[in-house]
Amino acid sequence: MSRELIETGLAHSWTAVRIARHIEHAESVVLSARVARCHAGFAVMQFADDSAHLNLLAVRPEYRRRGIARQLLCWLHATAVTAGTFVIALELRATSAAAHAFYSALGYRECGRTAAYYQGLEDAIRMTRDLRVNDGVLRAPNG
């Protein structure tokens, strides 16, 4: 899914081996979202001492706009808070207006840009969210 939904036009870097390392790593969380028996989406987040980095988040086009990405992110936020980690960082392709709008709507704020970040081919937008800031834009499914 990463190759198809995230790494389009780039050399494939998120291989099965790399994902497996994150699954096995104690400071990473890898989530899979299913609708019925179909793999609808996934997320990978890695934790550090005082922050976390959202490495990947994707939902197949036919399952978008159903709240799946929001639920995955909400679960990761809850996990971060439980771990005492309150700052989440991520990068996204500068050309991805939909991703930028999604993260912005969920309280992420642009904190910079990096030229040629993606394999020297495409710029990245860096975004962060401080989970201690109660701006009311993201709530757990039960909250």
Asked if residue 35 lies in contact with residue 76, where contact means CB atoms within 8 angstroms, the answer is: no
CB burial of 31-56 (b: ≥16 within 10 Å; e: otherwise) equals bebeeeeeebbbbbbebeeeebbbbb
Catalytic residue among 4, 63, 103, 117: 103
Examine the pLDDT at 97 and tell me if it is beyond 90.
yes
Position 18 scores a pLDDT of: 77
Exactly one of 24, 63, 91, 110 is catalytic; name it.
91
Confidence at residue 26, expressed as pLDDT on a 0 to 100 scale: 80
Q: Give me 56's structure tokens.
A: 């990947």
Active site residue 110: no
The tens digit of pLDDT for each residue in 50-87 reads 889 999 999 998 999 999 999 999 999 999 998 888 99
127 in Cβ contact with 112 (< 8 Å): no
Examine the residue annotation and report whether 24 is marked as an active-site residue of this protein.
Answer: no
If you count them, how many residues does the chain have? 143
Model's pTM, two decimal places? 0.84
